[in-house]
Amino acid sequence: MNLSRLLIFSLCIATAQAQSPINLIPQPVSVQPQPGVFTLTKATTIHYNQADGRVVADMLSQQLNTPTGFGLVAKSGKTGKIQLNLTETPNAQLGQEGYILDASPKGVVITANRPAGLFYGMQTLTQLLPKEIEGKIVTTKTWTVPAVKITDYPRFGWRGIMFDVSRHFFTKVEVKQYIDQLAKLKYNTFHWHLTDDNGWRIEIKSLPKLTSVGAWRVARAGHYGDRAEPKPGEPTPYGGFYTQDDIREVIAYAQARNVTIVPEIDVPGHSMAALAAYPELSCTKAIVSVNPGTAFSDWYGNGTFKMKVENTLNPSDEKVYEFLDKVFTEVAALFPSPFIHVGGDECYKGYWANDPGCQALMKQLNIRHVEDLQGYFMNRVEKILTAKGKKLLGWDEILEGGISPGATLMSWRGIKYGIEAAHAGHNVVMTPTTFAYLDYNQGDPTIDPPIYASLRTRTSYSFEPVPDGVDAKYILGGQGNLWTEQIPTLRYAEYMTYPRAWALSEVYWSPKEVKNWPNFVQRMETHFDRADVAEINYSRAVYDAIIKTSMKDGKLRLELEGEIPGLDIYYTIDDTMPDQFSTHYSQPVDLPDGNVNLRVITYRAGKPIGHLITLTRDALQKRVGR
- Residue 199 CB, nearest approach to ligand ACM (Å): 16
Contact predicate 422/591, CB 8 Å: no
Cα distances from 515 to residues 138, 164, 462, 463, in angstroms, run 35, 29, 9, 10
Minimum distance of ligand ACM from residue 345's CB (angstroms):
4
The distance of closest approach from Cβ of residue 305 to ligand ACM in the complex, given in angstroms and rounded to an integer, is 11
Amino acid at 532: D
Does the protein bind ligand ACM through residue 346 (CB under 6 A)?
A: yes
Would you say 414 and 430 are in contact if contact means Cβ atoms under 8 Å apart?
Answer: no
> Which one of the listed residues 346, 400, 485, 525 is annotated catalytic?
346
Min separation Cβ 501 and ligand ACM, Å: 17
127 in Cβ contact with 193 (< 8 Å): no
**Shortest distance (Å) from residue 415 CB to ligand ACM:** 14
Q: Is 412 in the site for ligand ACM (CB under 6 A)?
A: yes
What residues contact 285, with CB distance under 8 A and at least 6 apart? 279
For the segment 180-209, give every residue that binds ligand ACM (CB under 6 A): none
In the sheet with 30-40, reading across from the earlier edge strand, the strands are 30-40, 143-152, 99-104, 107-112, 82-86, 46-48, 74-76
Distance CA 65, CA 72 (A): 6
Buried residues in 552-568 as b, exposed as e (16+ CB within 10 A):
eeeebbbebebbbeebb
Q: Rounded to an integer, what distance in angstroms lies between the CA atom of residue 53 and that of residue 75?
A: 10
Site for ligand ACM in 72-91 (CB under 6 A): none
Closer residue to ligand ACM (CB): 412 or 538: 412
- Applying CB under 6 A, does 440 fall inside the site for ligand ACM? no
Whichever of 346 and 372 has its CB closer to ligand ACM, that residue is 346
Cβ contact 432:412 at 8 Å: yes
Does position 296 interact with ligand ACM (CB under 6 A)? The reply is no
Contact code string over 301-340 relative to ligand ACM, x by CB under 6 A: ----------------------------------------
x/- mask, ligand ACM, residues 381-400, rule CB under 6 A, reads --------------x-----
Residue 297 CB, nearest approach to ligand ACM (Å): 12
d(CA 504, CA 510): 10
- Residue closer to ligand ACM by CB (options 234, 345) is 345
- DSSP per residue, 36-91: EEEEE-TT--EEESSGGGHHHHHHHHHHHHHHH-----EEE-S--SEEEEE-SS--
- For residue 505, the minimal CB distance to ligand ACM (Å) is 21
CA 52/CA 71 separation, integer angstroms? 22
Q: Which is nearer to ligand ACM, 398 or 542 (CB)?
A: 398
Closer by beta carbon to ligand ACM, 229 or else 346 = 346
d(CA 441, CA 489) in angstroms, rounded, equals: 16
What CA–CA distances, in Å, run from 55 to 76, 235, 328, 516?
11, 45, 31, 34
Residue facing ligand ACM at closest CB distance: 345
Q: Which conformational region is residue 553 in: left (phi greater than 0), alpha (psi within -120 to 50 degrees), or beta?
A: left
What are the E-state strand segments in 278-349?
297-299, 305-307, 339-343
H or E element that contains 264:
strand 260-267
Contacts (CB under 6 A) with ligand ACM, residues 451-480: none
Q: Is 345 in the site for ligand ACM (CB under 6 A)?
A: yes
Three-state SS at 260: strand
Query: Before 356, cis peptide (omega within 30)?
Result: no
Sorted by sequence, the CB contacts under 8 Å of residue 438 that are 6+ apart come out as 161, 455, 480, 481, 482, 483, 496, 497, 500, 501
Least separation in angstroms between residue 267's CB and ligand ACM is: 13
Please work out the total of residues on this chain that contact ligand ACM, with binding judged by CB under 6 A: 4
Distance between CA atoms of 512 and 524, rounded to whole angstroms?
Answer: 18
Provide the minimum distance between the beta carbon of 516 and ligand ACM in the complex, in angstroms, as a whole number. 30
Helix (H) or strand (E) holding 358: helix 356-365
Q: Is 158 in the site for ligand ACM (CB under 6 A)?
A: no
Q: Is 400 a catalytic residue?
A: no
Which C-beta is closer to ligand ACM: that of 395 or that of 495?
A: 395
Known catalytic residues are: 346
Footprint on this chain of ligand ACM (rule: CB under 6 A): 345-346, 395, 412
